[in-house]
């Protein structure tokens, strides 16, 4: 019965609003209610006459700069406000409506319908009720009107009185942050987060801190992620989301056992407190048992229409074995060359009919097109044709696509990246065998089809860096041995991994193997290793050399909350490979390695003294 009333109310209110927009005067609405509105309520004239004045009183009017023109509610013996001529107690006062009328209904419907300058003016009037803004924003987003949703939700959070926010403001906040992320509005996103931290209610501040922690994890900024997590824990100590976030943070940091132990702590604590539904408790129990596998399963399930194809890909990769023979040759100069065979080319062509995206041959990692736009198609086709993985070009495209979507998530490494790494390593073994039997030679990037194997290796090293660190480093070292020119820039990555593992002497040895001029990350890695080994004079020399390469790096490492936007050149912030010596290059190093400087007692204080 209530559902019927809600449908009738919405239909009647929509019709009433259309009538009001044609003529914003009360008599015109009542004429519409008697002539046409009655049919929307099953022929009930009395209900139509009783409902119309209620809706009129809450409708924003453009002729009044979006203020309402509420009617004075008559006393029982006064003339009824529907202009029937009867006393109220014998007219609308005798009508009992089947349910309540939301006090913001006509504002919500108006916000749904207004467009362009009218919508902009209505929002600028600051008259819209917060609940109406929230509901209209959520409805617009569900209908695919992302720009309108952003406009409405911005108005909701632009109010000076944060106490007026509806109870359901947190989903709206999450949606607006998502919209900013999707549309590249990073400044607006950061401003909203700062406003919530400063003015928002407790629950919203906690949610913002959780979101900030996840954003830092997505950017591999572990030090900032840890800081945001601690603040979130202080704000909302009993939030179940914290268990999920802490497990992700610890896995990013490489602390698998601690992630499991902390998940067990959260499970015991929150289950004793009660208030969690069975599904939440089951998730926490699974998280405690195997945090990596649980997060991987959740990540796959969260992919909606891709959940089944991704799960099928994981099952396929479990049974991928061996590495088919490659066409490997030695050039006239004695260097090693991989040549794509006719069969491999045919397999790749078949795969490419579904995959469609083209690898950017001029970049170490990346595509000219978006590979995930039709991912359901190519994932299903690949699982139906596992022989396609015999082609290194297919493996290259698959690995690049997986790295693009899941490369920063450590819990995805065992099921997606490591199985394909074993296949690549089988191919590298064939290359090494050819090298060893003929006493030398390198696998140079720009010869034959070598870039396919090297690019695949780089993507795998990146994809496994967090979740399978030892495997990632071992693969990087094999690639460096085959490509001593370090075409892929793997030396810095290996150095960073050794420093994270506390193998400082080995890190120094690795940093001295390259014949190329040292990069910023290499010099700063050497400085950190020297400092840990208490070779302070050598550490200081490395820092001075790094400062000559990049004058920003010491300040950005030492400041706790520097502004990323300062001193950026045009387009520099979005550059995948920042210019040497740039602010963005220093920021990138800070993001990747500041947590290691923080974890080294006294290192940041010493570094600050070198400035």
- Give the mean pLDDT per block of 10 residues along the chain (611 residues): 82 95 95 94 93 96 95 94 92 91 94 93 93 93 91 88 82 90 86 86 81 80 84 82 86 86 88 80 87 85 84 92 92 92 96 93 81 92 96 96 86 92 96 86 90 92 86 90 80 82 85 71 91 93 92 89 53 54 87 86 92 77
Q: Which of 434, 184, 408 is nearest to 334 (CA)?
A: 434
Q: Which of 227, 153, 237, 160 is nearest to 203 (CA)?
A: 237
Distance CA 194, CA 391 (A): 49
The SS3 assignment for 538 reads helix
The pLDDT, as a whole number, for residue 516 is: 63
The SS3 assignment for 339 reads strand
Helix (H) or strand (E) holding 546: helix 536-549
Per the CB < 8 A criterion, the answer to whether 370 and 405 are in contact is: no
Distance CA 570, CA 191 (A): 21
Total count of residues recorded for the chain: 611
Give span(s): CATH 1.25.40, the chain: 145-300
Per the CB < 8 A criterion, the answer to whether 131 and 172 are in contact is: no
The pLDDT, as a whole number, for residue 397 is: 95
Angle at 150 between CA 146 and CA 153, to 5 degrees: 135
Q: Which of 515, 569, 567, 525 is nearest to 545 (CA)?
A: 525
Residues linked to residue 359 through DSSP beta bridges, in sequence order: 367
Report the phi/psi class of residue 518: left, alpha or beta, with left for phi > 0 and alpha for psi in -120 to 50: beta
**CA-CA distances (angstroms) from residue 155 to 121, 173, 488, 527?**
11, 12, 47, 49
Q: Which pair of structure tokens corresponds to residue 531?
A: 């400092």
How would you write 7-64 as a 3-class SS string? HHHHHHHHHHHHHHHHCCCHHHHHHHHHHCHHHHHCCCHHHHHHHHHHHHHCCCEHHH
Distance CA 24, CA 17 (A): 9
The pLDDT, as a whole number, for residue 603 is: 92
Distance CA 511, CA 132 (A): 60
Distance CA 48, CA 92 (A): 9
Q: Which of 454, 415, 170 is nearest to 337 (CA)?
A: 454
- The crossing angle, in degrees rounded to 10, of helices 450-464 and 418-437 is 140
For 346-502, where are the E strands, in sequence order?
none
What CATH fold (topology level) applies to the domain 145-300? 1.25.40
Q: Which of 115, 125, 135, 110 is nearest to 159 (CA)?
A: 125
Q: What is the DSSP string of 82-133?
A: TSSSSBGGGTGGG---SS---TTHHHHHHHHH--HHHHHHHHHTT-S-HHHH
The SS3 assignment for 79 reads strand
Q: Which of 519, 517, 516 is nearest to 493 (CA)?
A: 519
419: Cα separation from own chain's centroid = 25
Per the CB < 8 A criterion, the answer to whether 150 and 183 are in contact is: yes
The pLDDT, as a whole number, for residue 431 is: 94
The pLDDT, as a whole number, for residue 564 is: 62
Cβ within 8 Å of residue 49, ≥6 positions away: 30, 33, 34, 82, 84, 91, 92, 95
Helix-strand-coil split of the chain, %, nearest 5: 65, 0, 30
Distance CA 385, CA 480 (A): 33
- Cα atoms in the 13 Å half-sphere on the side-chain side of 597: 28
Distance CA 395, CA 417 (A): 11
Cβ within 8 Å of residue 400, ≥6 positions away: 359, 365, 366, 367, 371, 455, 456, 459
Helix (H) or strand (E) holding 327: strand 327-330
């Amino acid at each position: 019965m209530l559902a019927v009333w809600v449908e009738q109310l919405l239909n009647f209110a929509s019709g009433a609003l259309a009538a009001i927009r044609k003529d914003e005067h009360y008599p015109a609405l009542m004429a519409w209610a008697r002539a046409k509105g009655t049919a929307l309520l099953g022929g009930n004239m009395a209900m139509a006459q009783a409902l119309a004045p209620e809706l009129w009183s809450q409708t924003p009017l453009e002729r009044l700069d979006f203020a309402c023109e509420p009617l004075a509610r008559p006393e029982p013996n006064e003339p009824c406000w529907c202009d029937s001529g009867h006393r109220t107690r014998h007219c609308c006062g005798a009508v009992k409506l089947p349910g309540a009328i939301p006090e913001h209904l006509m504002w919500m419907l108006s916000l749904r319908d207004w467009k362009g300058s009218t919508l902009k003016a209505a929002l600028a009037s600051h008259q819209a009720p917060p609940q109406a803004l929230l509901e209209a924003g959520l409805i617009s987003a569900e209908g695919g009107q992302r720009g309108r949703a952003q406009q409405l939700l911005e108005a909701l959070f632009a109010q000076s009185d944060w106490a007026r926010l509806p109870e359901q403001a947190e989903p709206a906040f999450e949606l607006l942050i998502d919209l900013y992320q999707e549309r590249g509005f990073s400044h607006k996103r950061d401003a909203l987060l700062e406003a919530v931290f400063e003015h928002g209610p407790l629950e919203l501040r906690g949610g913002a801190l959780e979101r900030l922690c996840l954003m830092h994890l997505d950017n591999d900024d572990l030090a900032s992620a840890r800081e945001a997590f601690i603040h979130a824990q202080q704000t909302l100590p009993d939030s179940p989301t914290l268990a999920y976030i802490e497990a992700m943070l610890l896995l990013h940091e490489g602390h698998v056992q601690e992630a499991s132990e902390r998940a067990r702590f959260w499970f015991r604590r929150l289950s004793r407190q009660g208030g969690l539904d069975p599904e939440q408790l089951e998730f926490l129990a699974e998280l405690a048992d195997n945090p990596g596998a649980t997060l991987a399963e959740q990540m796959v399930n969260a992919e909606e229409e891709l959940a089944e194809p991704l799960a099928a890909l994981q099952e396929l990769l479990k049974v991928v074995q061996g590495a088919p023979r490659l066409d490997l040759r030695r050039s006239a100069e004695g260097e090693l060359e991989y040549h794509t065979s006719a069969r491999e080319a045919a397999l790749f062509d078949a795969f490419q009919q579904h995959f469609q995206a083209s690898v950017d041959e001029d970049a170490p990692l990346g595509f000219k097109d978006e590979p995930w736009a039709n991912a359901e198609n190519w994932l299903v086709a690949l699982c139906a044709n596992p022989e396609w993985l015999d082609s290194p070009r297919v493996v290259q495209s698959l690995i690049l696509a997986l790295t693009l979507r899941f490369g920063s998530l450590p819990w995805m490494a065992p099921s997606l990246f490591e199985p394909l790494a074993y296949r690549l390593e089988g191919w590298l073994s064939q290359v090494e065998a050819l090298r060893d039997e003929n006493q030398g030679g390198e696998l140079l990037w720009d010869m034959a089809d070598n870039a396919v194997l090297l690019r695949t290796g780089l993507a795998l090293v990146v994809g496994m860096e967090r979740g399978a660190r030892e495997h990632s480093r071992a693969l990087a070292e094999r690639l460096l041995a085959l490509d001593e020119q370090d075409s892929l820039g793997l030396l810095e990555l290996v150095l960073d991994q050794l420093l994270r593992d506390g193998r400082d002497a080995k890190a120094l040895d690795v940093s001295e193997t390259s014949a190329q001029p040292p990069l910023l990350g290499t010099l700063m890695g050497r400085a950190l290793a020297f400092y840990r080994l208490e070779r302070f004079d050598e550490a200081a020399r490395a820092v001075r050399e790094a400062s000559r390469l990049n004058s920003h790096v010491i300040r950005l490492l030492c400041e706790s909350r520097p502004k990323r936007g300062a001193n950026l050149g045009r387009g520099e912030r979005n550059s995948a490979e920042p210019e040497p010596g740039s602010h963005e290059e220093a920021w990138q190093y800070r993001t990747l390695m500041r947590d290691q400087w923080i974890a080294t007692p006294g290192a940041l204080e010493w570094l600050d003294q070198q400035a």
